[in-house]
């Protein structure tokens, strides 16, 4: 395969991934609009650390946004956010199959000079604190945002397989 053809295919793959992620964000914003969050009575908590991918050093003044609330947080000199109160938003799509014992939210982390980091479906539990460490990579020419989708809990997924495998 020629280099030009390979480059063309890579561009198509990157563009397809970006379009898929943008559509996913738009759908999520529609599902979890401000009315749902403003009437929220159940909460989860997050404590997020941001570090440099290469040096593993904490990143001060990185920004973290919880998309569902449109709230922004800044990391301290240790790379930590304050404790974040996040909505406990249950996805009931699987309730007829196997209820999910978690809610999920979306996190965007960024800092000048670093590649943006967007994580979908971060699992949170009601009234519990989830500790996360996100690694930001220094920006270089041609860098694309990191787009991550968190997988469901292994035990939950195995139970789905057990129930539905013939």
Tens-digit pLDDT string for the chain (166 aa):
677 666 665 566 655 555 565 655 555 555 554 444 545 678 999 999 999 999 999 999 999 999 999 999 999 999 999 999 999 988 888 888 888 889 999 999 999 999 999 999 999 999 999 999 999 999 987 788 888 888 888 888 899 888 888 8
Domain that holds residue 75: 3-164
* pTM of this structure: 0.71
Helix (H) or strand (E) holding 162: helix 154-164
Structure tokens at 110: 């960024």
At 157, is the secondary structure helix, strand, or coil?
helix
Instruction: Give the count of domains, the chain.
Output: 1
CATH number, domain of 38, equals 2.60.40.1120
Q: CB of 101 within 8 A of CB of 17?
A: no
């Amino acid at each position: 395969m020629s280099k030009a053809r390979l480059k063309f295919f890579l561009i198509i793959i990157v563009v397809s991934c970006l379009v898929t992620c943008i559509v996913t964000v738009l759908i999520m914003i529609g599902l979890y609009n401000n009315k749902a969050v403003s009437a929220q009575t159940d909460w989860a908590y997050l404590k997020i650390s941001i570090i440099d991918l290469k040096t593993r050093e904490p990143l001060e003044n990185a920004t973290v946004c919880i998309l569902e609330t449109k709230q922004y947080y800044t990391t301290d000199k240790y790379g930590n956010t304050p404790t974040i109160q996040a909505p406990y938003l249950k996805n009931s799509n699987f309730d007829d199959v196997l209820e999910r014992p978690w809610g999920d939210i979306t996190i965007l982390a960024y800092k000048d000079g670093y590649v943006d980091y967007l994580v979908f479906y971060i699992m949170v539990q009601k009234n519990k604190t989830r500790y996360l460490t996100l690694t930001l990579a220094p920006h270089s020419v041609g860098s694309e945002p990191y787009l991550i989708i968190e997988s469901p809990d292994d035990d939950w997924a195995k139970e789905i397989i057990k129930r539905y495998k013939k």
